[in-house]
Chain A
Amino acid sequence: QVQLVESGGGVVQPGRSLRLSCVASGFTFNDYGMHWVRQAPGKGLEWVAVVSYDGSHKFYADSVKGRFTFSRDNSKNTLYLQMNSLRAEDTAVYYCAKGDTTGYQGYFDYWGQGTLVTVSS
C-alpha cells in the first residue's frame, strides 16, 4: 500500500532554515509528480510546491517562491523541502502528497500524515 512519511518538523526561529523529508513506498516513485501542501493551525489547505517525476519541472506558490526549494532523490524514494528565511506565517502542518501523473497538474491521490513546523522566537 502507498505510504508517505514526513519528518523534519519542529520549532525554529524566524529567519532560520529547516529541511523536511518525505519517504515514499508502495508505488513506483519515479513515475509520479509529488507535491507539498500545508495547513496553518485552524486554517484551510494551501498548496506549496510540485516537482515532476524526474525533477525537471518545479513550481512554487508565490508565498514561498525564492525561499523554499523542493527536490527529490529517486534513488532513495525521498522528497526534500528546504525552507529558508522562515517566517511566522510559515507555521503549519506540512503534508507531502502523491500526484496522479508524471507531471505537475492533476490531483493528490495519497497524502502523508503531516509534520508540524512552528516558526517562533
Chain B
Amino acid sequence: QSVLTQPPSASGTPGQRVTISCSGRSSNIASNTVNWYQQLPGTAPKLLIYSNTQRPSGVPDRFSGSKSGTSASLAINGLQSEDEADYYCAAWDDSLSGVVFGGGTKLTVL
C-alpha cells in the first residue's frame, strides 16, 4: 500500500489529453513539492516534472504538473505513442522523514 495514491492505469488515443492524479496528505503533498517520474519499459526512471510544475530541459511542453492542497496531477496533452510508460508521483513526507512514492500509473496509448 503506497502512501501516495495513483490510479493503476490510464489510457488514451493519440492526440488526446490524459491526466493522472496523485493523492496524499498534509505531511507530504500539502507540505512539500511534488515530483513526477516517467519509466519507459525496461529502463530506469527519468525526472519528468519537479517542484510541482517545472519541466527539466528536454521534456516536451506537452507534459505539465499542478498541485492543490493534498493532491497533484500530471497532464499530458497531444498524447503520443512514445508516452506509453509508467508514471510515478513522489514527495518528501515530514512524518516519515523520507520520500514517498505513488504506486504508479501505467499509461496505455490505444
Closest-CB distance, A27 to chain B (whole angstroms): 14
Count: A-B pairs, CB below 8 Å? 57
Pick from B45, B56, B97: contact of A59, CB under 8 Å: B97
Cβ contacts B1-35/A at 8 Å (1 or 0 each): 01000000000000000000000000000001101
The answer to whether B56 and A35 have CB atoms under 8 Å apart is no
Interface size class of A (residues with CB under 8 A): 20 to 34
A95 to B109: give the CA distance in the assembly, Å: 27
A37 to B46: give the CA distance in the assembly, Å: 13
The answer to whether A111 and B98 have CB atoms under 8 Å apart is no
The answer to whether B32 and A105 have CB atoms under 8 Å apart is yes
Cβ contacts B77-110/A at 8 Å (1 or 0 each): 0000000001010101000111111111000000
Closest-CB distance, B11 to chain A (whole angstroms): 18
Contacts of A59 in B (CB 8 A): 97-98
Tell me if A61 counts as interface (CB < 8 A to partner B).
Answer: yes
Closest-CB distance, B31 to chain A (whole angstroms): 10
The answer to whether B35 and A45 have CB atoms under 8 Å apart is no
Contacts of B56 in A (CB 8 A): 109
A39 to B103: give the CA distance in the assembly, Å: 11
The answer to whether A44 and B104 have CB atoms under 8 Å apart is yes
The answer to whether B99 and A35 have CB atoms under 8 Å apart is yes
A65 to B102: give the CA distance in the assembly, Å: 21
The answer to whether B103 and A44 have CB atoms under 8 Å apart is yes
Q: Mark out the residues of chain B between 24 and 73 whose CB falls within 8 Å of any chain A CB in the assembled complex.
A: 32-33, 35, 37, 39, 44-47, 50-51, 56
Closest-CB distance, A116 to chain B (whole angstroms): 12
Contact flag A62-B96 (CB < 8 Å), given A100-B50, A107-B51, A109-B56 = yes
The answer to whether A112 and B44 have CB atoms under 8 Å apart is yes
Contacts of A47 in B (CB 8 A): 90, 98-101
Q: A44-B103, A45-B45, A45-B88 are in contact. List 9 more A-B contacts (CB 8 A).
A: A45-B101, A47-B99, A60-B98, A106-B92, A107-B47, A109-B47, A110-B47, A111-B44, A112-B44
Chain A positions within 8 Å of B, measured between CB atoms, are 35, 37, 44-47, 50, 59-62, 95, 100, 105-114
